[in-house]
Amino acid sequence: MRFVVRSLLQLVLVLFAVTFVAFGALNYLGDPLFNILGPIALEESGPEYAEVRAEARAQFHLDDPFPIRYGRWVGDMLTGDFGRSYSNQVTVRSILADKLPVTVVLMVYAQVIAIAVSVPWALWTASRAYRFGDKASTVVSFTMLGIPVFALTVLLFWLFAIRWQLFPTRYEDETIGQRLTSLFLPAVALATPLIATYQRLLRTDLISTLQEDFISVARAKGLPKWYILFRHALRPSLFSLLTVFGIQVASLIGGSLVVERQFQIPGIGFEVVEAIFRDDFPVVLAVVVVVSVAFVAVNVLVDLIYTFLDPRVDFNG
Amino acid sequence: MSEGTPLLELENLSITFATPGGPVYAVSDVSLSVERGKALGIVGESGSGKSVTMKAVMDLLPSTAAIGGRATFDGIDVLTMPSSRRKHFYGVDVAMVFQNPMTSLNPVKRIDAQMTEGMRYHRDLSKNDAKKRAIELLELVRLPDAAGRLRQYPHELSGGMRQRVVIAMALANDPALLIADEPTTALDVTVQRDILNLLDNLRTDLNMALILISHDLGVVRDRTDDVVVMYGGRVMESAQTEDLFADTRHPYARALQLSIPDISKPRGQRLDPIPGSPPDLSSPLTGCPFAPRCTFAQDDCHSTLPVATPVGDGSHTFSCLHPLGQEATV
């Protein structure tokens, strides 16, 4: 019970802090009126449009003081109303419903790839720590960490989509198969730094777990090497990996802004970049909320998994 | 030692660790043996090589260790065993109990999983049969509420209870030899004797050989048939336990005896600690390893390596140039 209360409290605090900062910052970034009305929003377009401008300002409450606008936005948000996009008057909710699933699939995809590659790789390197295969792996993983995502995206796209034509050059989503094929290269681009991070962390933790007495006990029982690695060493070694897994949700969202644009994927990352450029505050704010909720939710989940990984972790501690 | 063929026999075993600072000669020229159903004590202070010797037998040394000499179990060379024999050797023929029960169990696995995995792997027991056997074993080591313990995690048990679990686990496949490496050092004094007596009883009941490693001659005294005293990676004295106490030859073995607290002595009497600290093993020794700390040492002790010298029928040997006692058959 204490755990639930604490998680909810955490969610409320994070949401408040993040939206407050975002709302305040956007407020000083530009005037959304141009976006709503087009060229007539400018004073130079003549006094005959002054009335239209005043009307629009009133309709979108652009002249109200900051605390009132923020309060109104929070109130609407709590009822699930994120307002309408300034540019085309579409409800933000329908934009989210339309774009969010693609991005969620992309992120889950990237995390699945990252875990599927990094865990076996870390087990392999830890079992031969400081030998050639391990040292070579260190070089490879640091290279993976060092490549910027935008450069990797270009490289992957050119090699696999254009040169070898193994993957489509444009996003297709009529079938699940098409969707997964289209998202494969972007997911790999997002997963690459994660694979390296997870591999480094898990390898280090595995090496120290393998020094533990209970590993000697398991070896003295005559259990095979693979069994000891998977059934004794892996689970107690997953803590750092899990912690970072939760935190990486934020950087994945950052990465999706780049990757979705470069691969022309109609996801929320693509959408939010557009929205920022056209001062479409309701869209940007809604995405900020979604990201914060996702971040807190994943980290609450991570806390829950801790208790599964180690029975000594107190659920309500 | 006494009659019969040995179950485990080490002949001139040497262990060298490669370290960045050069080789460390952890164990040199150690020979010892234990017969079926008998108990052997290996005694020495920290760094004397007693644990390392047994870890070599159990194949638990890191890859930096180079092992020389021979180790045979029931006539088979342990160090060069074919992998088909190895597969069901550790945990079946030989089992080991470690020093610290608090870290010997995997903290994230339930007791039943840890107890049954060895039986299921080596003997292909069904889950249910393995569980029944686990309960029997926990009752054998006299852990109260054996069936209930199976669903618990190690942290829910006390140190003494955990050591009982570790011992029960080691007994899972009826080993012919149990190696107990300082099994009570990490436990409360009141629990220590219970665990030692338990090991003693199990050995007799199960007709199992026991190697009891300890830094305390007092622990070994009433519970073993033979004793090997080690120092600086070498055997100093080796004898039947009563002989070692009745007719001590090596000054180090004597010094160890004098450092045992004796409850029958009057209060206030001081113990005799051994001055100095164990030798640096990073260069091969030219003389007796104990010479720098020995009150009986003479000049030749520093330059001549003593060899194992028999007393009487040869079951009692010592490695000392100037032994205690007069009737030495030098």
Q: Do B91 and A223 lie within an 8 Å CB cutoff?
A: yes
- Identify which of A218, A220, A222 has the shortest CB distance to residue B122: A222
Neighbours of B192 (CB within 10 A): 18
Q: How far apart are CA B180 and CA A80, in angstroms?
A: 66
What is the model's pLDDT at position A317?
A: 52
Question: With a CB-CB cutoff of 8 Å, which residues 172-191 of chain B face chain A?
Answer: 172
Q: Do B117 and A222 lie within an 8 Å CB cutoff?
A: no
> CA-nearest residue of chain A to B155?
A312
Q: Does A273 touch chain B (CB under 8 A)?
A: no
Mean predicted lDDT score pLDDT of chain A: 90
> CA-nearest residue of chain B to A214?
B104
What is the model's pLDDT at position B313?
A: 82
What is the model's pLDDT at position B326?
A: 54
> CA-nearest residue of chain B to A233?
B106
Task: Point out the least confidently predicted range of A88-92, A125-129, B30-34, B146-150.
Answer: A88-92
> CA-nearest residue of chain A to B152?
A311
- Of A136, A123, A145, A142, give the one whose Cα is nearest residue A204: A123
Which of the four pLDDT bands, split at 50, 70 and 90, describes residue A242?
very high
Q: How far apart are CA B310 and CA B289, in angstroms?
A: 19
When pLDDT is averaged across residues A213-242 and rounded to a whole number, the result is 95
Select the residue from A217, A235, A305, A309 to test the B interface by mutation, using most B Cβ atoms within 10 A.
A217
Task: Point out the least confidently predicted range of A33-37, B47-51, B136-140.
Answer: A33-37
Percent of chain A with pLDDT strictly greater than 70: 99
Residue A66: pLDDT over 90: no
Which of the four pLDDT bands, split at 50, 70 and 90, describes residue B330?
very low
Q: Residue B288 corresponds to which amino acid?
A: C
When pLDDT is averaged across residues A282-311 and rounded to a whole number, the result is 90
What is the model's pLDDT at position B228?
A: 97
Q: Does B53 touch chain A (CB under 8 A)?
A: no
Tens digits of per-residue pLDDT, B245-275?
999 999 999 999 888 877 777 777 777 788 8
Q: Do B58 and A220 lie within an 8 Å CB cutoff?
A: yes
Q: Does B59 touch chain A (CB under 8 A)?
A: yes
What is the model's pLDDT at position A40?
A: 80
Give A193→chain B minimum CA distance, Å.
30
Residues 6+ apart with CB under 8 A from A169: A157, A161, A162
Tens digits of per-residue pLDDT, B119-133?
999 999 999 999 999
Tens digits of per-residue pLDDT, B89-122?
999 999 999 999 999 999 999 999 999 999 999 9
What is the model's pLDDT at position A156?
A: 94
Q: Does B220 touch chain A (CB under 8 A)?
A: no
Higher-confidence position of B3 and A195: A195
What is the model's pLDDT at position A52?
A: 84
Highest mean pLDDT among A60-64, A161-165, B260-264: A161-165
Angle at A70 between CA A3 and CA A28, to 5 degrees: 120
What is the model's pLDDT at position B300?
A: 92
Q: Which residues of B touch A229 (CB under 8 A)?
A: none
Q: Does B252 touch chain A (CB under 8 A)?
A: no
What is the model's pLDDT at position B4?
A: 64
Tens digits of per-residue pLDDT, B32-86?
999 999 999 999 988 899 999 999 999 999 989 999 999 999 999 999 999 899 9
- Identify which of B92, B103, B108 has the shortest CB distance to residue A311: B108
Tens digits of per-residue pLDDT, B266-319?
777 777 788 888 888 888 888 999 999 998 999 999 999 999 999 888 889 999
Kindly give the pairing relationship between strand B177-181 and strand B22-35.
unpaired
Residue A74: pLDDT over 60: yes
Select the residue from B96, B108, B119 to test the A interface by mutation, using most A Cβ atoms within 10 A.
B108
What is the model's pLDDT at position A315?
A: 64
Q: Does A227 touch chain B (CB under 8 A)?
A: yes
Mean predicted lDDT score pLDDT of chain B: 91
For residue B314, give Cα distances in angstroms to A275, B3, B41, B246.
93, 12, 18, 16
Write down the ipTM of this complex.
0.90
What is the model's pLDDT at position B274?
A: 84
Higher-confidence position of A50 and B173: B173
Tens digits of per-residue pLDDT, A255-283?
999 999 999 999 999 999 999 888 888 99
What is the model's pLDDT at position A42?
A: 78
Three-class secondary structure assignment of chain B: CCCCCEEEEEEEEEEEEEECCEEEEEEEEEEEEEECCCEEEEECCCCCCHHHHHHHHCCCCCCCEEEEEEEEECCEECCCCCHHHHCCCECCCEEEECCCHHHHCCCCCCHHHHHHHHHHHHHCCCHHHHHHHHHHHHHHCCCCCHHHHCCCCHHHCCHHHHHHHHHHHHCCCCCCEEEEECCCCCCCHHHHHHHHHHHHHHHHHHCCEEEEEECCHHHHHCCCCEEEEEECCEEEEEEEHHHHHHCCCCHHHHHHHHCCCCCCCCCCCCCCCCCCCCCCCCCCCCCCCCHHHCCCCCHHHHCCCCCCEEECCCCEEECCCCCCCCCCCC
- Of B73, B72, B69, B50, give the one whose Cα is nearest residue B228: B50
Which of the four pLDDT bands, split at 50, 70 and 90, describes residue B2?
very low
Q: How far apart are CA A283 and CA B126, in angstroms?
A: 60
Tens digits of per-residue pLDDT, B195-219?
999 999 999 999 999 999 999 998 9
Which of the four pLDDT bands, split at 50, 70 and 90, describes residue B328?
very low
